[in-house]
Amino acid sequence: MPSPNETPSFSHLRDKALQLRRNMLIQAAGKGQGYLGQGFGLAEFFAALYFHELNFDPKYPQAPDRDRFYMSTGHYSIALWAVFAEIGLIPKDTLTTYGADESPLEMSTIEGHVPGVEMTGGSLGHGLGIAAGAALGLRIQNNPARVFVEISDGELQEGSTWEAATAASAFRLDNLVCFNDCNGIQADGALVVPMEPVADKWRAFGWDVQEVDGNALEELIGAMHWARARRGKPKVIVMRTRPGRGIARLEAREQAHFIRVEGNEWDTLGRELELENA
Amino acid sequence: MLKGRTLGMGELEAVENRASKLAPFATGAIAAQEAHGDVVLLTADLGKYTDTYPFRDRFPDRFYNVGMAEQALVMVAAGLARTGLSAYCTTYGAFATRRAHDFLAIACAHGGASVKMFAGNPGLTTGYGGTHQAIEDLALMRAVPDMTVIDPCDATEMQQIAEQAREMEGTVYCRLLRGNVPVVFDPATHRFELGKAKRIGSGTDIGFISTGFMTERCLDASAGLAELGIKASVLHCATIKPFDTEAVAAFAASVDKVVTAENHVLVGGLASLVLDALYANGVMKPLLKIGIPDRFIECGSIPYLQTRYGLTAARVREQVAQWLGAGAQAAE
């Protein structure tokens, strides 16, 4: 894993983001559907997190000094499985079983089924509080590991998120970094209850805030380095991401929350992914 | 019943001449931390009212107050547990089980997190009315998979459970008896054992099956019934889940008639558990259920409420005597 402040190879990270999208497409094609929009939107984030920032050895997913990553949006499991296949936590050939009966690759992240999954996500509004508790627990035990959590903009509608934000700020958890994926969509369509101004809300709750284009690797890496250097407060990186990013046709879809396409379209999407990212 | 004063919120009805002990939960939690060093105690703006201050004063760097935020209380505890610590939480049962239910179920029990929730104001131990009375908490918690549920009787058990909780697997919901709590069981001889029911007495006319502080009431009622020539014994079931089904069935088989007694609504609590256990084991005995009716209870002094809803020793004795006198097969 990388040492702090190491300059990343952006071409390497770009390749990883593309490979994550390929892995997600394999899963969605196997199942015939999936949360592809959100997963594609987060490909750069996951590439930057797992291939640059996170101190995590897939050979020892329970190592006490590992950085923790809590994914609160359990229904984005398709993105986590894409990462896990790439770092060797799960065999690549299981990707085709995503969402199938008896597959470990469930449509939501379930703790205890696949190593490396740190929390059950999907009942939304849980991740930030669990991450805050873990950050507190690590600090109490003088463990230098850091805690990262990904939450969505829809989760800002859950009151529990703000209870957790308050607690993290009150306890000055500066070993905690929240990535707030703002993709503007939720189950019923465009964000049905607007949550802007998101960055101002975080600031008001006592957090250090950076706002980035979540599909720009340079900005993501810059914000991660910023988060490493800041002390005294919990930190949040507000990521503006585009659902379906990586395939123009998906990005243009209005119904991007849960992607279904015609059965014969998957091959076409795969070709478009390669063409657009060539 | 104490005369001449109104009991404070959550204070148990003390029996004259019965010993009591102050803050048994805090004493047990302190002992657990002293012995093992891995306990963190959290509360949600009810530290003073859930006996946490003795722990805070002894271990200030292991005490956290998240403010009036029960969801954060449970989530933060779930995160602490994931780093290998034992997270003890306190708030009132009504808030823990109604407001933070999803978090106790998914963030804690679902992942087997070592979160131990100690929940104050169980049943009719507060006069603050429906908002503060956790009268359906046992039903809500026992329906959660992998959740351990305990309703202690007295100060001795409260202290022992607090001491043992960190060793109990996964997530635990335990009713909290706080303040000056009666001592019913001799701490020198009584040992709380998770999942084990305890028989007291050998009478076979009436078999009380009870949980929580109702065991104390049933023991006192038994003494009164003996004066009427009715011989009773008591099976104390402090652990609601896992439930000691075998002991309950064997106990019921050994007595003529069964009376269940709980400081909880008669929906989904002890009576339901006992009926499941008896049916499963083919034991059919006349049965009287004592507990809180299926409705929200009004505000009032604790002695008034406990008398009105039949939870005092005198009222338990009266209900049983009436039941036997009338020869009815069931009564409310």
The mean pLDDT of chain B is: 94
- At residue B11, the pLDDT reads 56
Average pLDDT over residues A188-199: 92
Smallest Cβ distance to A134: which of B61, B82, B106? Answer: B82
For residue A123, give the 3-state DSSP assignment: coil
Residue in this structure with the two tokens 């209850």, named with its chain if needed: A193
- At residue B3, the pLDDT reads 39
A133 to B75: CB separation less than 8 angstroms, yes or no: yes
Burial of A14 (0-12, 13-18, 19+ CB in 10 A): middle
* Cα gap B273→A87, rounded to integer Å: 48
pLDDT digits (tens, 9 = 90+) for B167-194: 999 999 999 999 999 999 999 999 999 9
Q: How far is A81 from chain B (nearest CA, A)?
A: 19
Residues 167 to 196 of B: which have CB under 8 A from any A CB?
none
The mean pLDDT of chain A is: 94
Which backbone phi and psi does A24 adopt, to 5 degrees? Answer: -70, -40
- Contact present, A177 and A206 (Cβ < 8 Å): no
Q: Which two tokens stand for residue B97?
A: 């089980």
pLDDT digits (tens, 9 = 90+) for B189-235: 999 999 999 999 999 999 999 999 999 999 999 999 999 999 999 99
- At residue A88, the pLDDT reads 96
- At residue B16, the pLDDT reads 67
Q: Which two tokens stand for residue A58?
A: 């897939």
Q: Which residues of A touch B (CB under 8 A)?
A: 64, 68, 111-112, 118-120, 123, 125-126, 128-138, 140-141, 143, 159-160, 163-164, 166-167, 170-171
Continuous segment of H or E residues that includes residue B43: strand B39-43
Q: Which residues of A touch B111 (CB under 8 A)?
A: 111-112, 119-120
- How far does CA A268 lie from the centroid of its chain? 26
pLDDT digits (tens, 9 = 90+) for A115-128: 999 999 999 999 99
Smallest Cβ distance to A131: which of B66, B79, B111? Answer: B79
- At residue B1, the pLDDT reads 36
- At residue A256, the pLDDT reads 66
CB atoms within 10 A of CB B291: 24
- At residue A189, the pLDDT reads 85
- At residue B128, the pLDDT reads 92
Bridge partners of residue A151, in order along the sequence: A180
Q: Does B130 touch chain A (CB under 8 A)?
A: no
Q: Does B234 touch chain A (CB under 8 A)?
A: no
A132 to B76: CB separation less than 8 angstroms, yes or no: yes
Give yes or no for residue A18 having a pLDDT over 60: yes
- At residue B12, the pLDDT reads 60
A111 to B111: CB separation less than 8 angstroms, yes or no: yes
The DSSP secondary structure of B79-129, one letter per residue, reads: HHHHTT-EEEEEEEHHIIIIISHHIIIIIIGGGT--EEEEEESBSSS-SS-
Q: Which residues of A touch B74 (CB under 8 A)?
A: 129
Higher pLDDT, A112 or B78: B78
- At residue A4, the pLDDT reads 52
pLDDT digits (tens, 9 = 90+) for A89-104: 999 999 999 999 999 9
* Percent share of chain B, pLDDT over 90: 92
Q: Which residues of A touch B76 (CB under 8 A)?
A: 129-130, 132-133, 136, 164, 167
Give yes or no for residue B10 having a pLDDT over 70: no
Task: Give the start-to-end residue ranges of the domains of chain A.
Answer: 10-276
Q: Enumerate the CATH 3.40.50.970 domain ranges in chain B, comma separated.
A: 24-182
One-letter amino acid for residue B104 of the chain? L
* Cα gap A121→B110, rounded to integer Å: 11
* Cα gap A256→A244, rounded to integer Å: 7
* Cα gap B262→A258, rounded to integer Å: 48
- At residue A258, the pLDDT reads 72
- At residue B332, the pLDDT reads 39
Give yes or no for residue B331 having a pLDDT over 50: no
CATH topology of domain A10-276: Rossmann fold (3.40.50)
Disruptive mutation site among B36, B38, B83, B89 for chain A (greatest number of A CBs within 10 Å): B83
Give yes or no for residue A1 having a pLDDT over 90: no
Continuous segment of H or E residues that includes residue A81: helix A77-87
- At residue A262, the pLDDT reads 82
- At residue B15, the pLDDT reads 64
- At residue B122, the pLDDT reads 98
For residue B297, give the 3-state DSSP assignment: coil
What pLDDT band is residue B6 in, cutting at 50, 70 and 90?
A: very low
Average pLDDT over residues B285-293: 98
Half-sphere exposure of B321 (CA within 13 A, CB side): 16
A133 to B77: CB separation less than 8 angstroms, yes or no: yes
* Cα gap B90→B178, rounded to integer Å: 11
From residue B219, alpha-carbon distances to B156, B247, B260 in Å are: 16, 18, 13
Mean pLDDT lowest among A49-63, A242-256, B39-53: A242-256
What pLDDT band is residue B18 in, cutting at 50, 70 and 90?
A: confident
Angle formed by the axes of helices B245-253 and B270-280, to 10°?
70
* Percent share of chain B, pLDDT over 70: 93
Q: Which residues of B touch A149 (CB under 8 A)?
A: none
* Cα gap A123→A175, rounded to integer Å: 25
Bridge partners of residue B87, in order along the sequence: B40, B115
Chain length of chain B: 332
A119 to B82: CB separation less than 8 angstroms, yes or no: yes
A129 to B79: CB separation less than 8 angstroms, yes or no: yes
Longest pairwise C-alpha distance within chain A: 54
* Cα gap A52→A93, rounded to integer Å: 25
Q: Does B45 touch chain A (CB under 8 A)?
A: no
Q: Does B84 touch chain A (CB under 8 A)?
A: yes
Q: Does B108 touch chain A (CB under 8 A)?
A: no
pLDDT digits (tens, 9 = 90+) for B302-319: 999 999 999 999 999 999
Residue A197: cis peptide before it, omega within 30 degrees of 0: yes
Residue in this structure with the two tokens 């969801």, named with its chain if needed: B71
CB atoms within 10 A of CB B58: 14
Which listed CATH number (3.30.70.360, 3.40.50.970, 3.20.20.70, 2.60.40.420) goes with B24-182?
Answer: 3.40.50.970
Give yes or no for residue B132 having a pLDDT over 50: yes
Which listed CATH number (3.40.50.300, 3.40.50.920, 1.10.1330.10, 3.20.10.10) goes with B198-324?
Answer: 3.40.50.920
Disruptive mutation site among A130, A138, A157 for chain B (greatest number of B CBs within 10 Å): A130
Q: Which residues of B touch A132 (CB under 8 A)?
A: 72, 75-76, 79
Bridge partners of residue A34, in order along the sequence: A259
User: What is the DSSP-derived secondary structure letter of residue A192?
Assistant: S
**Sequence-separated (6 or more) residues with CB below 8 Å from residue A255:** A189
ipTM, interface predicted TM-score of the complex: 0.91
* Cα gap B183→B160, rounded to integer Å: 12
Average pLDDT over residues B239-245: 98
B67 to A138: CB separation less than 8 angstroms, yes or no: no
pLDDT digits (tens, 9 = 90+) for A81-91: 999 999 999 99
pLDDT digits (tens, 9 = 90+) for A50-72: 999 999 999 999 999 999 999 99
Minimum CA–CA partner of A158 in chain B: B71
- At residue B2, the pLDDT reads 37
pLDDT digits (tens, 9 = 90+) for B246-268: 999 999 999 999 999 999 999 99
Q: Which residues of A touch B80 (CB under 8 A)?
A: 133-134, 136-137, 140
- At residue B5, the pLDDT reads 40
Q: How far is B320 from chain A (nearest CA, A)?
A: 46
Disruptive mutation site among A160, A161, A162 for chain B (greatest number of B CBs within 10 Å): A160
